[in-house]
Amino acid sequence: MKNDLNFKRFATLLLILFIQITIAQEVKITGQIFDKAGLPIPGANIVLKGTQVVAQTSFDGEFTISAKEGQTLTVSYVGMKTLEIPASKSMKITLQGISNELDAVVVVGYGTQSKKNSTDNIARVTAKDIQQVPVANVQNALVGKLAGVQITQTNGKVDGGINIRVRGAASISAGTQPLYVLDGIPLITDDESSNGAPTNPLLTLSTNEIESIDVLKDASSAAIYGARGANGVVIITTKKGKEGKGTFSINLSQGVSEPTHKKKWLNAKQYVELLLEAGRNANDLQSVEEELENLSQGSDWRNGQTYTDWQDIAFQTGHTTDADFSLSGGDQKTKYFISGAYNNTVGIIDSNDLKRITARTNLSHKVFDNFTVGMNLSFSRSLINRVQNDDSFSTPLQSVAQAPISPARLTDGSANPNTEYSNYLLAKDNTFWKTIMRRVTGKVYGEYKFLPSLKFNSDFSYDLLSQTEDNWEGKNAPFMATDGAVFASSVNTENYISSNYFTFDKTVAEKHSFNAVVGMEYNKYHRRYQDVNSIYFPNDNFNTIDGGAEVNEGHGSETDYVFVSQFGRLNYAFNNKYLFKASIRRDGSSRFGKNNRFGYFPALSAGWIVSQESFLKDNSVLTYLKLKGSWGKLGNAEIGNFASRQLYQTNPYNAKSGLTFDQTGNDNLTWEKSTQIDFGFETRFWDRITLEADYYQKDTNGLLFEVPLPISSGAASINKNIGAIRSSGFEFTLNTKNIEKENFTWNTSFNLTTNQSKVKSLPNNNSDIVLGNTINRSGANISSFYLVEYAGVNSENGDALFFKNTVNPDGTLNKEMTSNYAEARRVIVGNPFPTLMSGMTNTITYKSFDFTFTFQGEWGASIYNDAGSYQSTAADVYDNQTADQLNRWQKPGDVTDVPQARFGGKNGTQKSTRYLDKSDFVRLRNLTLGYTLPKQAIKDTGLSSLRLYFTGVNLLTFTNYKGFDPEARRDDNVIGEDFYSAPPARTMALGVNINF
């Protein structure tokens, strides 16, 4: 009996245990994930917390995962707030968007990182921030959206160069532009233009292929790029396929453009009145009348019978056409993204236009569970019809200098050859300048996971930028003396990059999180250039090199450089609240002197997520607070390929070859060194308001300068690392969710940046370096304006006046006025760089409508109009004058800033602050209004969505600047100067987005 009783007890225990096991065993959890609008989210990740069990949603947002009911599932998706939720048999999950981006994932060198746990300073925009902005280049779509980043197009030409300054100036004589990295490929950004105006090599990129752009601003984030990170790093990530049903998208738009602003010029009657008055005042009336007769080509110039509005001829109504498509999708093994785009931009300047096609294919394939291979491949072709540079008389905008009494064309329709200056219409009719840029970027990669926490990546990348230029000048072209001439050039620039690195990512005991990257990289650059000239053509139908009778000149060169690098980075987080990061890169380059071939670039940063502490963890007001700081050293290797070498150049004589000494070598020459610090905080209130604030300081020393040598050395100078500058300021980024309702949302993003960039020391015992109208002086702003100070007009006699600004015995400046320009002394009078920048973007949705607009502003900078001494002189020359010159002094007692009109008298036309102006402005940079058709309206069309939109760029500009535009600068990139520089375009476009 006892044994039977024991058996029954044992059997009962087994039955209970079996029932418990049966109840507790895993089941298939199914569900669907949606966004706030109720649309399914494909590609979202679902992780069973504390395990390696992972699932991903299909195209319809559906998923299946093995889990026990009640276990915690972690649901995440890029751009959405991560959610933890108990598992149940059938789930419907809604993810909220991240307007403050604290929980977003940012791209860093050789990996990604959570914004919340980052100790770096990284500014970010995503595809939705830049898509459908009707501009020809990617950089212009970023303006006003990134704190600490100033983006300026040189001028309104479609091919205009782009200047980007990250946290102010970091150099005086070396490169100032950031390093661009596309999917891990350091891009070629050389300006290969031959006509004196810069081109923008990144015209080859299309916004439709870009997923995100991350700008690494501080040393902690950029140090992983070592000797090339001092000016910041711009990481561009292209779109990739996601698991699920394939999607097909089309975007079409058409727009029109006009100049943001036109100047007011004298009409024919006003021009004649002012010139005759200037001639009388100069006792030279007869010669003035004779020239007016000549300029008018026989018309009744005294009565203004012929009036030519040269400004209207130089400008035209531009238009833009954009068409792009993308196809993406995939399954658990293979993912794909394919895109193509076409852009046709006819500029606002006569004869200036751009046609571009781009194509991209991104593929990845999981060969085994732990081995993935992939390929990114893109091609671009950009054809640009260009005009001459701003310094050329035959460029369209210099035609505004022509007399308005001169006809533009003769009665037979041909261009009038007898104008005051070369008639640009002669160039339009008889010349062309055609530039074609072809670009191929490619990357093949493999990723092998040794362990769930350890993987190895091997990437091989290639970037080819091929450019040809053809400049034809017919026999009737301006200044032609050889019955036609052709210039043709070709340059091929290649970049090969091999990157190999390990990544370790593991959390130990749920408190210690480690992420480490270690690897090496090899980068080889090669450039081959050649050009040739041909002259004496039988007629204008022959306009290639072989059509000329004589090939009279040719050039060719080859150059390359190499970087060999090792790098490492460690991120550590304790208890998800104490953060630490260390990184280092060792760079060696053929550009550096042989005694300083290699350099080390370390960085450290730390952060404390205070809101994770017990005294703040459950605070409903202050829901997030992080303090952070960083320090690091970076380099600027843009010092030229041969700055350290002793060079010789060919010098043929009497048909014999020869060499002459050209440059003294310096084996100690190396990169410019930048030490940077950053302190700041990130905070969030009520999960609705996010504020990020930082103070930064960049100290750059070892600036590259040409230092004079004694005559006995045989050379004039030697390149040395001497001099130092400092750039510092504050950055603020404020993101707010103003309204969040079911049918109405309103979000705002506001950024504010201050900057001071000053010279700390210079070579030759801090000797001033004066270049044109600017000066670099120890203690002053970099490239400060250095001009005679204009004092207005003597109300008794109409003389222009200048402040003497000589130094008094007590050290003060003598503010006496003089009409003798030679008695006045130059002083520092302005800063070419803004000291305050801001941007504000508002995004509003109401039911099916979406509305976004961005305002941008800059303050504190000045701009010098170098053309003012021709076009605003009260008729000192025959150039047409700006309308404000009618306010000239005419009789004693007149109070005005415009001196008496005296032809040829140089009455106040010398370089002075008369032509210096503040360039402060606020601009409505872009605006988009869209409407998405209800699903019911398109349910039978096979479309998943259809959206109509209106978008505009540079719609409004508020400024007191008297020139064309406060952002326009001369082609040759002379700092802070305007010289017949075209304003940017104001563009308005209508478009449609179609998704299948």
Has residue 8 got a pLDDT over 60?
no
Q: Quick check: 27 and 68 in contact, CB under 8 A?
A: yes
Give the integer Cα–Cα distance in Å for 77 and 553. Answer: 60
Res 103: pLDDT: 62
Res 782: pLDDT: 94
Res 102: pLDDT: 60
Mean predicted confidence (pLDDT) in 953-980 = 92
Has residue 639 got a pLDDT over 50?
yes
Res 19: pLDDT: 44
**Residue 645 — very low, low, confident or very high, per pLDDT cuts 50/70/90?**
confident
Residue-wise pLDDT tens digits, 18-52: 444 444 456 788 888 887 656 677 778 888 887 87
Q: Are strands 977-978 and 862-865 parallel, antiparallel or unpaired?
A: parallel
Which stretches of 216-267 are DSSP H helices?
219-222
Q: Quick check: 90 and 27 in contact, CB under 8 A?
A: no
b/e per residue, 763-783, with b = 16+ CB within 10 A?
beeeeebeeebbbbbbeebbb
Res 816: pLDDT: 95
**Residue 87 — very low, low, confident or very high, per pLDDT cuts 50/70/90?**
confident
Has residue 468 got a pLDDT over 90?
yes
Res 4: pLDDT: 54
Res 17: pLDDT: 43
**Residue 905 — very low, low, confident or very high, per pLDDT cuts 50/70/90?**
very high
DSSP 401-429: GS-TTS-SB-TTSPBPS-SSS--HHHHHH
Helix, strand and coil percent figures for the chain, each rounded to 5: 15, 50, 35
Mean predicted confidence (pLDDT) in 552-564 = 93
Percent of the chain whose pLDDT exceeds 90: 67
With CA atoms as reference, report the closest residue to 962 among 898, 910, 884.
884
Burial of 699 (0-12, 13-18, 19+ CB in 10 A): middle
Res 59: pLDDT: 57
Res 719: pLDDT: 86
Give the integer Cα–Cα distance in Å for 219 and 225. Answer: 10
Mean predicted confidence (pLDDT) in 710-718 = 73
Has residue 685 got a pLDDT over 90?
yes
Residue 45 β-bridge partners: 56, 76
In order of 36, 66, 91, 252, the CA distances from 30 in angstroms are: 20, 9, 6, 38
Q: Worst-scoring range by mean pLDDT, 221-225, 294-298, 826-830? A: 294-298
Mean predicted confidence (pLDDT) in 874-893 = 96
Give the integer Cα–Cα distance in Å for 416 and 875. Answer: 23
| Long-range contacts formed by 938-942: CB under 8 A, 24+ apart | 942/996
Has residue 98 got a pLDDT over 70?
no
**Residue 298 — very low, low, confident or very high, per pLDDT cuts 50/70/90?**
confident
Q: Worst-scoring range by mean pLDDT, 230-239, 645-654, 880-889, 987-996? A: 645-654
Residue 233 β-bridge partners: 179, 216
With CA atoms as reference, report the closest residue to 575 among 605, 606, 616, 608.
608
Has residue 961 got a pLDDT over 90?
yes
In order of 136, 190, 318, 437, 764, the CA distances from 321 in angstroms are: 10, 27, 10, 19, 55
Mean predicted confidence (pLDDT) in 901-925 = 96
b/e per residue, 878-906, with b = 16+ CB within 10 A?
bbbbbeebeebbeeeeeebebbbbbbbbe
Higher pLDDT, 864 or 99: 864
Q: Worst-scoring range by mean pLDDT, 309-313, 463-467, 939-943, 945-949? A: 939-943
Amino acid letter for position 738:
N
Mean predicted confidence (pLDDT) in 697-710 = 86
Mean predicted confidence (pLDDT) in 662-680 = 90
Res 55: pLDDT: 83
Give the integer Cα–Cα distance in Å for 441 and 437. Answer: 13
Higher pLDDT, 98 or 439: 439
With CA atoms as reference, report the closest residue to 506 among 568, 454, 455, 457.
454
Q: Quick check: 627 and 575 in contact, CB under 8 A?
A: no
Identify the DSSP state of 654.
Answer: T
Q: Quick check: 45 and 75 in contact, CB under 8 A?
A: yes
**Residue 16 — very low, low, confident or very high, per pLDDT cuts 50/70/90?**
very low
Give the integer Cα–Cα distance in Å for 735 and 746. Answer: 11
| Long-range contacts formed by 650-653: CB under 8 A, 24+ apart | none
Residue-wise pLDDT tens digits, 184-223: 999 999 999 998 888 888 889 998 999 999 999 999 999 9
**Average pLDDT over all residues of the chain:** 90
Q: Quick check: 902 and 278 in contact, CB under 8 A?
A: yes
| Long-range contacts formed by 82-90: CB under 8 A, 24+ apart | 84/49, 87/29, 87/48, 88/29, 89/27, 89/29, 89/30, 90/30, 90/31
Give the integer Cα–Cα distance in Å for 132 and 207. Answer: 8
Res 82: pLDDT: 80
The HSE-up count of residue 947 (CA atoms within 13 Å, CB side) is 21
Q: Quick check: 597 and 645 in contact, CB under 8 A?
A: no
Has residue 356 got a pLDDT over 80?
yes
Res 2: pLDDT: 47
With CA atoms as reference, report the closest residue to 490 among 515, 506, 471.
471
Give the integer Cα–Cα distance in Å for 782 and 785. Answer: 9
